[in-house]
Structure 1
Amino acid sequence: MRQILAVAAGLAVLVASACSAPTPPRSAAPSPTPAGPAALPAPTGAHPVGTTALYLKDTSRPDPWNLDVDARELKVTLWYPTKQKDGERAPYMTPKESELLLKGLRIAGVPYDTLSRTRTNAVKDAEPTGEKLPLVVLSPGFTKPMSTLTSLAEDLAGRGYVVAGIDHTYESYVTAFPDGRVAECLACDSDTDPGFGTGVVAGRAADVSFVLDQLPSKWDGSDRIDRSRIAMVGQSIGGAGAMATMVKDPRVRAGIDLDGTTYARIPKSGFSRPFMFLGSAEHVPGGRDTSWDRDWKLLTGWKRWLVVSGADHQSFTDGPLLTGSLGIKPAYGVLPAARGAELTRTYVAAFLDQHLKGQRQPLLDKPSSRYPEVEFCSATCGRS
């Protein structure tokens, strides 16, 4: 996992690893003419999308980051299909969340509430619809709130999934609880400690298992979830958390790592549940990060290793979609924001449709002329 202290390319320095000494981020210098509020792309599925937030408290374990707290508190955001097309759109984040995130990223020159004015597509607290829907757990990158994966979450909900996005408290620049309390990044003070990444993914696996335990009693729409069809998708250390969760919790049937160095050890006997790596050139076989090379050999079931040409670490998040509202020009040669969102949505949905809905996806069998940026890898990468 690389700690990314930027919303998109050009905003800050990429940090090689959460376990390496972090390079102080450069303050971004937005132009004086931001493009106005960003708008997330519309979901591509057939269903309107609703969303709501839950507050969960795990009294069985203390918080791993805040020694003054004897229980782990989590905010979980749900996205799901609804019949309700009209209504109040959910905020992307609160003004306070926007302020703390931009301060954490050291982005100056724009109003601190800028990201709170990002336009979303989901209707706040809409009534869910559908029966026996598969569940997808989402986990964001280190220092990032769950909201930075909203575009992917909305798209999956529009395609007929229930999505549970977890804010891993104290691992983000900001986590705002439904009662108005705000938790900042205590883990950021520990990211150079030995074994940091391994500890983070173990904690995230525990968070996910707790959320899966709690959903039936904490969300009124939980009867619409088919609990035999659960997958997990994460970006950066959230992707590493997907692997760690699957090793520990058999309820998660399939997983995707979006550009994250992995830390959890796979049993030497192998791991047979479906898994997909989708990332940037950092993760080509034999490249800078070798964790995928190591784990690939131990994945004994259905597996794919896809590398996206021109992508950077944030291409699989909302980050590039937000640069215009911050008045920041994308870096030369980096995958355009809309294309990055399209590729991420398309390949994530294809994987989930195949492994949770039983719908075979030829897109995952070989390279596609529609998406020439995506290379299929194993020991090497190539178009053939």
Structure 2
Amino acid sequence: MNHAHFLRGLTVSTALLTLAVGIGGRPAAAGKPGDTPSLPSPTGPHPVGTTSLHLTDDSRPDPWASGASARELMVSLWYPTASANGRRAQYMTPTESELLLKEGGITGVPSDVLSTTRTNAFADARPAGPERGLPLVVLSPGFTKPRTTLTALAEDLASHGYIVAAIDHTYENVATTFPDGRVTTCTAGEGTHDEAFWKRLVTGRAADVSFVLDELTRAHATWDGARLIDPSRIAMAGHSVGGASSVTSMLADSRVRAGIDIDGTTHVPIPDSGLSRPFLFLGRHSQYSPGSGGAVATWERDWQRLTGWKRWLVVTGAEHASFTDVGLLAEQFGVDMGADLPAARASEIIRSHTRAFLELHLGHRAQRLLDKPSKRYPQVAFCGPEASPRV
């Protein structure tokens, strides 16, 4: 399965804290002990605000908590704002930082270091934009990963005029903090991770997504910024099992008009009747190139059943963590994730290609970046199951 743990099996030594490996073995810039980690600046024209919602779905029990008659979720929202000032949002709490580092076996850094990460969004800034005028993008993280690990992508999209909702799928990540101070951990990981488990996981995530869409698009939504959402322009993207959940969510909910699977093995096949809405596969060259075996088989199967606009892109030199903030922050700590592609470059590729897909299918603006290989991004290859990657 492609659900690698955060910084799996790595520890931070003194040498690693002062040097990271770049392309071709060249040293890459790395953080030093005491440096404040940071996320890359958004590339769009709008300042970004962010807030969190605590939502409760009383219509169904929690799938992972015995005796819980309702499903509770925490959702982070990023959006354009006219207020380019105020307090920068905290990346995660000290407790969440400690638990995420512990899960990855990371030592040699302060346990709260991720809580000090510098973000670019202003906490609780007022949303700005035309009423019913902004597209909505739902983000779903990988298994055991909190929603915050997709912050760099979310901030960038919001700076270009999108509302972004990232969901913490409760009990499926190392730490979810609720407003009353409760912190839930990953109980869904207990037991056998067989195919039935992953199907249960993505099916549950599809239900989470539909509920969040209900809450954000209903009349008199609790969040004031919901009035800006155009309910006819909704897309979803996710990483790892969150990417696989994009397929499941599109099959379950027609409101999701376009989807992206970022480096995730799909677990619920697209039915023979097909899926006609736009879809993008975006993954590692080493894992998701035709003929590489293993996880790529699920993409080959589903590719044949995607009957609308579709692309299959792979990134040379990337590793699983390269597609999220995990790679960005690990490199700043000096941790070698095994990627040949510098984390900042990988982040640029993910953000630019995700944005191009959304601009094409939610904004209806042509995107040359998705028509053919680009000299600007030679690491990105176009491919399909019956052809070698085109670079």
TM-score range (shorter-chain normalised) is over 0.9
Equivalence map 1:181-200=2 (5 Å): 181-200=182-201
Letter in 1 for 2:107: A
User: In the alignment, what sits opposite 1:123?
Assistant: 122
Q: Does 1:164 align with 2:153?
A: no
User: In the alignment, what sits opposite 1:353?
Assistant: 359
User: In the alignment, what sits opposite 1:212?
Assistant: 213
Using the TM superposition, give the Cα deviation of residue 37 of structure 1 relative to its aligned residue in structure 2, in angstroms.
Answer: 1.6
Contact 1:38 1:324 in 2 (8 A): no
Q: Does 1:230 align with 2:234?
A: yes
The CA distance in 2 between the partners of 1:75 and 1:42, in whole Å, is: 25
Q: Does 1:337 align with 2:343?
A: yes
Letter in 2 for 1:192: H
| Identical-residue share of aligned pairs (%) | 57
TM-score, structure 1 normalization? 0.93
Number of residue pairs the alignment of both structures matches:
366
Q: Does 1:270 align with 2:274?
A: yes
Using the TM superposition, give the Cα deviation of residue 267 of structure 1 relative to its aligned residue in structure 2, in angstroms.
Answer: 1.8
Equivalence map 1:309-348=2 (5 Å): 309-331=316-338, 334-348=340-354
Contact 1:141 1:235 in 2 (8 A): yes
Moved more, 210-219 or 80-89: 210-219
Contact 1:136 1:231 in 2 (8 A): yes
Helix, strand or coil: the match of 1:192?
coil
The CA distance in 1 between the partners of 2:325 and 2:48, in whole Å, is: 18
Helix, strand or coil: the match of 2:189?
helix
Query: Where in structure 1 are there 5+ consecutive unaligned residues?
Result: 13-25
Using the TM superposition, give the Cα deviation of residue 110 of structure 1 relative to its aligned residue in structure 2, in angstroms.
Answer: 1.1
Letter in 1 for 2:45: A
The CA distance in 2 between the partners of 1:197 and 1:310, in whole Å, is: 27
Letter in 2 for 1:285: P
User: In the alignment, what sits opposite 1:17?
Assistant: none
Moved more, 188-197 or 296-305: 188-197
Letter in 1 for 2:321: Q
Equivalence map 1:1-384=2 (5 Å): 2-6=2-6, 11-12=7-8, 26-31=9-14, 33-34=32-33, 36-131=35-130, 132-215=133-216, 216=218, 217-281=221-285, 282-287=287-292, 288-289=294-295, 290-331=297-338, 334-378=340-384, 379-383=386-390
- CA deviations over 1:156-204 (Å, ceiling 9, x no partner): 0000000000000000011111222100000111352451111100000
The 3 A distance-change label for structure 1 pair 321 and 27 is closer
The CA distance in 2 between the partners of 1:121 and 1:65, in whole Å, is: 34
Letter in 1 for 2:203: A
Using the TM superposition, give the Cα deviation of residue 69 of structure 1 relative to its aligned residue in structure 2, in angstroms.
Answer: 1.2
For the aligned residue pairs, the C-alpha RMSD in angstroms reads 1.4
- CA deviations over 1:192-229 (Å, ceiling 9, x no partner): 24511111000000000000001142211111000000
Letter in 1 for 2:99: L
Moved more, 314-323 or 137-146: 314-323
Letter in 2 for 1:137: V
Using the TM superposition, give the Cα deviation of residue 269 of structure 1 relative to its aligned residue in structure 2, in angstroms.
Answer: 1.7
TM-score, structure 2 normalization? 0.91
The CA distance in 1 between the partners of 2:38 and 2:183, in whole Å, is: 25
Query: Where in structure 2 are there 5+ consecutive unaligned residues?
Result: 18-31
Using the TM superposition, give the Cα deviation of residue 29 of structure 1 relative to its aligned residue in structure 2, in angstroms.
Answer: 2.8
The 3 A distance-change label for structure 1 pair 269 and 97 is same
User: In the alignment, what sits opposite 1:19?
Assistant: none
The CA distance in 2 between the partners of 1:286 and 1:242, in whole Å, is: 24
Letter in 2 for 1:351: F
Using the TM superposition, give the Cα deviation of residue 3 of structure 1 relative to its aligned residue in structure 2, in angstroms.
Answer: 1.6
Contact 1:34 1:327 in 2 (8 A): no
- CA deviations over 1:314-364 (Å, ceiling 9, x no partner): 111001211245342453x52101000000000000000000000010110
Letter in 1 for 2:67: D
Using the TM superposition, give the Cα deviation of residue 264 of structure 1 relative to its aligned residue in structure 2, in angstroms.
Answer: 1.7
